[in-house]
A and B are shown apart, each in its own frame.
Chain A
Amino acid sequence: MFRFLLGRLAVLIPTFIGVSIIAFSFIRLLPGDPVALLSGERVMSPERHAQISHELGYDRPIVVQYFDYLWGVLQGDFGTSISTKEPVLGQFMQLFPATLELSLCAIIFAIVLGIPAGVFAAIKRGSVLDQIIMGTALIGFSMPIFWWGLLLIILFSGILQWTPVSGRISLMFFFPSVTGFMLVDSLLSGQDGAFTSAASHLILPTIVLGTIPLAVIARQTRSAMLEVLSEDYVRTARAKGLSAFRVVGIHALRNAMIPVITTIGLQVGVMLAGAILTESIFSWPGIGKWMVDSVFRRDYPVIQGGLLIIAGLIMLVNLIVDLLYGLINPRIRH
């Protein structure tokens, strides 16, 4: 296990360094003057330019600048936002719980519906049920989710008036952020209706963000189950006189979960990309919307820092998934 972890780290560390080089060089690749871009001041005198250039360390060789940047990153200094003058990491920490809450709800939504759907499609292979499930999954897989979000808003917020259009909670409620998760904080606040309000704000974004992972998980579960169901050990399980539930739900599913877990792990990147669109549609104050807004504001330190933090986060999640994979697959554990 320890050696496995070391092996993974041996790949991850150079990759992270590469990622940091890319994030670092984006600003230098931009057309225009990086000093002007980074300081956010369009018009400045040559003296002012030289002063800022010196403050930012731009008068030093590029390699020195990179290591300086990397050293800052390792100490948690990802730069300062041009528009708000706040540290990038601080902003990220403030906004991340919103994205995390939404992503967790979406992935749970996708797993809870996707795995049973895939299992049923596999055991009823070729049936009408299978065709309906797989047809729906392919539609979900092909869905432009930014449009899907708008469609749900038209239906549930416009016509039926069941759910709010945007934000995390109704403006009526105000309470301090304890965990950053609106569902938990609203419960802790003890205010009437706060939790319901938070939950109703969460429903549509969850469905929108969870749609593609749901489709992917259902398809992957079905194909993994089909492969496993034809294995000899499933025949052995049936030869033991076990109930269909035990044969499918324990003997087959346990094996089919091995590739599905990997798929779920890969969905994290998909979700963060999806969060960009979902959060933009629902004005969800998370890191996806933050990144899009920064792109429009040309807030390059935020783009640079955000890119690096998000990539690091995805690499971390992938590492955890790899470790989890070792836990559920005995052939790797030993």
Chain B
Amino acid sequence: MALLEIENLVVEFETASGMFRAVDGVSLSVERKEVLAVVGESGSGKSVSMLAVMGLLPWTAKVTADRMMFDGVDLATISPKERRKLVGKDMAMIFQEPMASLNPCFTVGFQIEEVLRVHMGMDRARRRARAIELLTLVGIPEPEQRLSSFPHQMSGGQCQRVMIAIALACNPKLLIADEPTTALDVTIQKQILDLLVRLQAEYGMGLIMITHNMGVVAETADRVIVQYKGRKMEEADVLSLFESPRSNYTRALLAALPDNATGDRLPTIDGFLVEAEAAAVNTPMMEPPL
């Protein structure tokens, strides 16, 4: 049994001009200890589908799925209370803007220890010891001092490390990383990616890496899902995706890497061709028809 299994996930938002469909029939599954990359442009619905899994969408969003199972639990029918027991403990998520994702009014120590108190019921001394252990694990120097720091006293890379420490606090089975390096400096990006991959292997977690960066995919993922305008265009293991992409969109996406730029013009994706293809993928491409 896969760790996370989603079939035909649809997410719609109520807007002033009717319902907007952000995710349109996406199916995916993640095995234990596997790294899955979800790739696509901004607006392709990759973050929204993962926020739906976590139950973090605003109430204006309408989420439906044929099947949404996590570790034997049906996420579609679960009560909010039971979901809260799962979220932050067995299933954790880190976000794109590490500086904005930490609460500016509380110390790093408080924000790490809070998860330990809520989910593990640890006492004060054990929480503190575990928090120091976690900060050491994610590579923050002088962890004892750092516990009483506020987020604005740290760099973006350090904040993201703290976010990772919070996510890992309860030894989750699945970690969802939503563009974890996009807002960071290039040199820091590499460090954070290495850290994530190392921790994933060490802890044997499932890892879903949401990104628009093909370089990140190549470096981290076992398997890749390509999404466009809320639909899944292609699913493949990472090697075959780079060697023989099947969908035109993936091919265009790969061709649009800045490395392939000629002169001072960046390559672009021909929207017309892609639209036509996306329209054709009404049922998800890789799944057998129902």
Contacts and interface: CB of A to CB of B under 8 A. Distances in A.
Interface in B46-102: 54, 56, 83-89, 92-93, 95, 97, 100-102
B150 A239 contact: no
Contacts of B56: 235, 238-239
Contacts of A330: 104-105, 150, 152
Interface string A319-334: 0000000001111001
A232 B89 CA distance: 19
A231 interface: yes
Contacts of B85: 241
A254 B110 CA distance: 14
Interface string A234-259: 01111111110010000100110010
- Interface centre among B54, B106, B119, B153, by most A CB within 10 Å? B106
Nearest to A333: B150
A243 B92 CA distance: 16
B163 interface: yes
Contacts of A156: none
Contacts of B163: 236
B191 interface: no
Contacts of B97: 232
A251 B105 CA distance: 8
A233 interface: yes
B87 A233 contact: no
Contact of B103 (A241, A243, A255, A329): A255
Nearest to A238: B56
B150 A236 contact: no
Contacts of B101: 232-233, 235-236
B102 A242 contact: no
B88 A241 contact: yes
A233 B88 CA distance: 14
B100 A232 contact: yes
Interface residues of A, dominant DSSP:
helix
Contacts of B102: 233, 236
Interface string A282-301: 00000000000000000000
A236 B84 contact: no
A331 B119 CA distance: 29
- Interface centre among A240, A242, A329, by most B CB within 10 Å? A240
Interface in B125-145: none
Contacts of B86: 241
A241 B104 contact: no
A235 B176 CA distance: 14
Contact of B89 (A241, A246, A254, A258): A241
A239 B88 contact: yes
A255 B104 contact: yes
A237 to B, nearest CB: 7
A330 B92 CA distance: 27
Given A232-B95, A330-B152, A242 B103 contact: no
B54 A233 contact: no
B194 to A, nearest CB: 23
B92 A239 contact: yes
Given A330-B150, A330-B152, A241 B84 contact: yes
Contact of B104 (A235, A242, A246, A331): A331
Given A233-B103, A331-B104, 12 more contacts: A232-B100, A233-B100, A236-B95, A239-B93, A239-B95, A240-B115, A240-B118, A241-B84, A241-B119, A251-B103, A330-B152, A331-B150
The 4 nearest A-B residue pairs measured at CB: A241-B88, A240-B88, A232-B100, A241-B87
